[in-house]
């Protein structure tokens, strides 16, 4: 007979084993679809996430957005994380990790300079650029990309409206066809 190495009562109350879990809170950029459509380029907002790690369980490590249930369930860990983290660093924009022409090392170097988004890179001061080799080129490239996106945003918005109108017309056309078929059936009766 095998003896279980777990407490059976853990299954009676799902929060009973929470004290055994390691919860890692972190920030993840999540695309804001509405702002992205409006700007004509991907715009990301920082969102709080957590990873729940149960010691010894290699296969089940859920990563979830932080909601009220998580905040209540892991209140002590969340409070420590919030106290250690700096919420003022949360920014909206196109995160540099999402820019394909930047290398990981460039992103890390820019993060050290507190430049986390494409928009921040596009407006970084020339005094900073003189201290960091190659930053003028990155700034110029970022500025061009932001300007192009701003120019294309109205066109993309119009295209989206056009697509919505086309879909609406297709639905109306289908409705007209169905109504015509019903009228024809009624006339035959």
Across the chain, mean pLDDT equals 81
List, for residues 69-81, the tens digit of each pLDDT value: 999 988 888 888 8
Tell me the pLDDT band of 41, cut-offs 50, 70 and 90: confident
User: Can you give the residue range of the structural domain that contains 35?
Assistant: 15-93
Task: Judge whether 105 lies within some domain.
Answer: no
Task: Judge whether 138 lies within some domain.
Answer: no
Torsion of CA 12, 14, 20, 24, to 10 degrees: 170
- pTM for the model: 0.48
Structural contact between residues 21 and 54, judged by C-beta atoms closer than 8 angstroms: yes
Alpha carbons 25 and 86: distance in angstroms, whole number: 13
Query: Which tokens in the block code for residue 17?
Result: 């084993």
Euclidean distance between the first and the last CA atom of the chain, given in angstroms as a whole number: 77
Single out the residue of 31, 119, 26 nearest to residue 65, CA to CA. Answer: 26
How many domains is the chain built from? 1
List, for residues 112-144, the tens digit of each pLDDT value: 887 888 888 888 888 888 888 898 999 999 999
List, for residues 148-173, the tens digit of each pLDDT value: 888 887 887 888 888 989 999 999 99
């Amino acid at each position: 007979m095998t003896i279980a190495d777990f407490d059976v009562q853990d299954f009676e109350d799902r929060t009973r084993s929470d004290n055994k879990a390691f919860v890692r809170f972190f920030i993840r950029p999540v695309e804001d679809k509405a702002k992205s459509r409006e700007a004509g380029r991907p715009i990301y907002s920082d969102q709080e996430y957590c990873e729940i790690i149960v010691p010894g369980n290699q296969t089940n490590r859920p990563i979830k957005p932080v909601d009220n249930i998580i905040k209540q369930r892991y209140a002590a860990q969340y409070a420590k994380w919030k106290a250690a983290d700096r919420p003022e660093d949360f920014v909206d924009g196109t995160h540099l990790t999402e820019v394909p022409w930047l290398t990981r090392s460039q992103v890390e170097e820019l993060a050290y300079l507190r430049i986390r988004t494409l928009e921040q890179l596009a407006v970084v001061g020339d005094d900073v650029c003189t201290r960091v080799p190659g930053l003028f080129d990155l700034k110029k490239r970022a500025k061009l990309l932001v300007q192009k996106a701003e120019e294309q945003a109205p066109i993309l918005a119009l295209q989206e409206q056009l697509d919505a109108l086309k879909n609406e017309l297709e639905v109306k056309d289908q409705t007209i066809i169905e109504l015509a078929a019903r009228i024809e059936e009624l006339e035959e009766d």
